[in-house]
Amino acid sequence: MKQDTILFCLHGFIRTGPSMWWIAHQLKALQYRKTHTPTFGLHLHSLQDNAAALHTQIQHALSQSGATNIDVVTYSMGGLLLRAMLTLYPDTPVKRVVMIAPPNQGAEMAELVRRWIPVHELGWDPLAPLLPNAPTQLDEPAAQISVGIIAGIKYNGTGYNPLLSEDNDGKVCLTETKLKRDHQWITVKGRHPSLILHPTPIHQTKHYLEHQRFDQ
C-alpha cells in the first residue's frame, strides 16, 4: 500500500494523458492515494514550460491529497519532461521512477525525421529536445531517487528499424535509454508504441514500484 504516495504517469511525444490510462489502471493494485495522467503539449511548448506546468500540478496534487511522496512512470519523451522538471525543481519529493523507452541520450530517429521533414527551417523545432545528446543539458535524477529503465528491442542486433545503428524499438536505440548514474535497467521485446500496453513491461513496472527492483 502506498497511501503516503501519489503516482504521476507521463506520456510521450505527440500523445496525451489518456494514452497512459491502461498502465495507470494496471497499477491501481498498488493502492496509491491518487493517480494522475496529465496532458502536456510536448510538441507545442518548450520542455522548460511543460516542466513548470508539471511542477505546478504536482504541488497541487500533493496539497490536495496530503501525500508526501511521488512515484513517476514515464513513457518515451515523458522521461525528459521529468528530468527537466527535476532540473528546475530538484526538491520535488520524487521517490521512485520507472522510465519506459526513454531517449535519455537523445534519439537518432529524431535526427532522421528532422532531416526528412525540416519544419525547423520554418522556425518550429519540436524535435530539438530529442536530438542526439540534447538531453545531456538536463540533470539526471538525484542519487536518492530510485530509477528503473525498461528498453524495448528486437533481440536481433538491428532492431525494428534497420536505419538505426543498433538494436531498437523502432524509435529509440538500446543505449539511448540509459542514464550515466546508477540505475536498474532491463530489456523487453517490443515496439515503441506497444510498450505501455504489453503485459511484460507493465508487470515489470509494477514490480519495480513495489520492490524497487525488476522481476528477474
Average confidence (pLDDT) over 10-21: 95
CA within 13 Å, CB half, 187:
18
Q: How many CB atoms lie within 10 A of CB 156?
A: 10
Residue range 41-90, pLDDT digits in tens: 988 889 999 999 999 999 999 999 999 999 999 999 999 999 999 999 99
Q: Above pLDDT 70, what percent of the chain?
A: 97
Residue 125, pLDDT score = 76
pTM as predicted: 0.95
Q: What is the mean pLDDT of residues 23-47?
A: 94
CA dist 79 and 12 (Å) reads 8
Three cell numbers written together for 140: 539526471
- Reference 170, options 108, 86, 97; nearest CA is 108
**pLDDT, tens digit, for every residue of 115-133?**
877 766 666 678 889 999 9
pLDDT for the residue numbered 116: 78
Averaged confidence pLDDT in the chain: 94
- What is d(CA 212, CA 191) in angstroms, rounded to the nearest whole number? 25
